[in-house]
């Protein structure tokens, strides 16, 4: 079983696909003549009218259709290979993906959450945040980025939903260098294997982050991987107050400021992760 994808990895995938091609019925493979012939046979009415354009522009490039942009991500295994129906995740149409979703709503209620799917009848795109959408728009457009408004008449998008085949995790803002955000399906062993090159070094991560047996971690948790202590800012905190509480001397706030590259007036916010110097 491959590691389950998240909304954040979907956004990264969509961004990486900008400028690649569109062929109906595909989901991310590089277009070859054999793949094109197969799609021409499978979907003649969708492919035949664009055959000359496809050959001139998309051969040798990754191609997908609108829902294929999303399926191609959740069908990608841990080695980066696209596997049809990986882990029994289904092959659905754009409308089928919407129908399978549990959390959904009209476009006017779109939450500010990266990796949501925006939709209209027969078409989907990936919301990447800050009012922008990436979509496999059409054969002659390929994968493009566009602005989104919540007015249907301006964008055509009528609804949003959470893709039911990935996990949605919180994005950690201002994550310090030398830290790692736990993803769904991670273990200390897998993180040590990925970041330290040896899963047996999981005990080092456990020690760095004060994690006791059975070494339980959760998606969204921030781990130190370089030995620094981590602190999650609470309401009412300031660098001085944190230094006083954790280091025993408020005047050591300058060390916290320097370690976290804070700029004057050294504003911090609730939920922010800070590195803390050793005592």
All structural domains of the chain with their residue ranges:
7-161, 179-276
Average pLDDT over the chain, rounded to whole?
89
Per-residue pLDDT at 151 exceeds 70? no
For 199-258, what is each residue's pLDDT tens digit?
A: 888 998 888 888 888 888 887 788 888 777 888 888 788 999 999 988 999 989 999 998
Rounded to whole angstroms, how far apart are CA atoms 28 and 10?
13
For 127-140, what is each residue's pLDDT tens digit?
A: 998 899 999 999 99
Length of the chain measured in residues: 279
CATH of the domain spanning 7-161, picked from 3.40.50.1000, 3.90.1720.10, 2.40.170.20, 3.30.1950.10: 3.90.1720.10
* Band of residue 40 on the pLDDT scale cut at 50, 70, 90: very high
When comparing pLDDT for 3 and 267, which is higher? 267
Region 26-45: mean pLDDT is 97
Give every CB contact of residue 87 below 8 A, 6+ residues apart in sequence.
Answer: 1, 2, 4
Q: What is the DSSP string of 8-53?
A: HHHHHHHHHTTT-B--TT-EEEEP-HHHHHHHHHH-HHHHGGGHHH
Q: What's the pLDDT at 226?
A: 78
* Band of residue 152 on the pLDDT scale cut at 50, 70, 90: low
Region 113-135: mean pLDDT is 94
Q: What's the pLDDT at 221?
A: 83
When comparing pLDDT for 21 and 112, which is higher? 21
* Band of residue 278 on the pLDDT scale cut at 50, 70, 90: confident
* Band of residue 273 on the pLDDT scale cut at 50, 70, 90: confident
Region 13-33: mean pLDDT is 95
Q: What's the pLDDT at 172?
A: 63
Q: What's the pLDDT at 34?
A: 98
Rounded to whole angstroms, how far apart are CA atoms 253 and 276?
10
Q: What's the pLDDT at 180?
A: 86
Rounded to whole angstroms, how far apart are CA atoms 136 and 122?
12
Give the full edge-to-edge strand order of the sheet including 104-106. 104-106, 159-161, 117-120, 123-129, 132-138, 142-147
pTM, two decimal places: 0.66
- Name the residue among 145, 1, 120, 3 with its Cα closest to residue 67: 120
Q: Dihedrals φ, ψ of 129, to 5°?
A: 100, 165
Rounded to whole angstroms, how far apart are CA atoms 97 and 119?
10
- Highest-scoring range by mean pLDDT, 60-69, 168-177, 196-205, 226-235: 60-69
Residue 224 in contact with residue 177, Cβ under 8 Å? Answer: no
Q: What's the pLDDT at 155?
A: 63
- The CATH architecture of the domain made up of 179-276 is Roll (3.10)
Q: What's the pLDDT at 104?
A: 96
């Amino acid at each position: 079983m491959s590691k389950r994808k998240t909304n954040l990895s979907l956004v990264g995938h969509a961004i990486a696909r900008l400028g690649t091609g569109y062929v109906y019925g595909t989901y991310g493979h590089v277009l070859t003549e054999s793949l094109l012939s197969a799609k021409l046979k499978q979907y003649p009415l969708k492919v035949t009218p664009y055959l000359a354009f496809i050959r001139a522009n998309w051969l040798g490039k990754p191609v997908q259709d609108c829902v294929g942009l999303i399926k191609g991500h959740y069908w990608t295994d841990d080695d980066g290979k696209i596997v049809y129906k990986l882990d029994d995740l289904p092959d659905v149409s754009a409308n089928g993906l919407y129908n399978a979703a549990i959390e959904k709503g009209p476009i006017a209620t779109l939450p500010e959450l990266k990796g949501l799917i925006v939709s209209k009848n027969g078409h989907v795109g990936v919301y990447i945040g800050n009012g922008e959408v990436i979509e496999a728009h059409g054969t002659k457009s390929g994968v493009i980025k566009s602005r989104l408004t919540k007015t249907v008449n301006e964008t055509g998008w009528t609804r949003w939903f959470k893709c039911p085949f990935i996990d949605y995790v919180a994005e950690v803002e201002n994550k310090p260098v030398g830290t790692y955000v736990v993803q769904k399906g991670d273990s200390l062993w897998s993180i040590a294997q990925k970041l330290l090159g040896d899963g047996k070094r999981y005990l080092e991560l456990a020690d760095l982050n004060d994690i006791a047996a059975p070494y339980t971690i959760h998606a969204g948790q921030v781990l130190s991987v370089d030995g620094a202590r981590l602190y999650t800012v609470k309401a009412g905190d300031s660098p001085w107050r944190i230094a006083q509480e954790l280091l025993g001397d408020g005047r050591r706030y300058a060390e916290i400021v320097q370690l976290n590259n804070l700029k004057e007036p050294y504003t911090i916010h609730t939920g922010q992760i800070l590195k803390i110097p050793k005592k």
